Amino acid sequence: MVDSTRKVCLITGGTSGIGAAAALEIARRGMTVVIVGRSVRRCMKQLNKIRWSVPGAHVDFLIGDLSSQKEVRRLAAEFLARHPRLDVLVNNAGAYFKRREVSVDGIEMNLALNHMEGVPWRKNRGGFFDRTQERQN
């Protein structure tokens, strides 16, 4: 059964680097941690690492490409269907593209991934954070 009183943190780019370290530390503090990445294998590896370091940790992952606005909206909907609340949103995923590339939406990739990625999550903040407020009241 889902524990709706446990705080939930969503971390994009939780499979490596800063996001992976943050996911581990936040799980250690007792929150449910949901990471987002593009590869099931990399997400599973990170989840197993957290579970090994933090026995009983509450962890989940979502798969999607954050450079696509449609994908981010789908991920937000999937998150809402699976988790009762969102307390902390960490828009950490990012990359540096030296050569010009464009996303599926026709947006230059540095802009699409490092800046625009956060927009659909924040537009959905009513869905995320209002639900959390309701639970607390």
Ligand X SMILES: NC(=O)c1ccc[n+]([C@@H]2O[C@H](COP(=O)([O-])OP(=O)(O)OC[C@H]3O[C@@H](n4cnc5c(N)ncnc54)[C@H](OP(=O)(O)O)[C@@H]3O)[C@@H](O)[C@H]2O)c1
What's the closest the beta carbon of residue 115 comes to ligand X, in angstroms?
A: 10
Answer yes or no whether residue 73 interacts with ligand X by CB under 6 A.
no
Answer yes or no whether residue 37 interacts with ligand X by CB under 6 A.
yes
Tell me the C-alpha distance between 124 and 134, whole Å: 16
Tell me the C-alpha distance between 27 and 132, whole Å: 19
Measuring CA to CA, which residue among 31, 29, 27, 26 is closest to residue 51?
27
Structure tokens at 102: 């464009």
Tell me the C-alpha distance between 118 and 54, whole Å: 29
Which member of 31, 34, 67, 90 binds ligand X (CB under 6 A)?
A: 67
Which member of 65, 79, 85, 121 binds ligand X (CB under 6 A)?
A: 65
Among residue numbers 83 through 122, which ones bind ligand X (CB under 6 A)? 92-95, 113-114
> Which residues bind to ligand X, rule: CB under 6 A?
13-19, 37-39, 42, 65-67, 92-95, 113-114
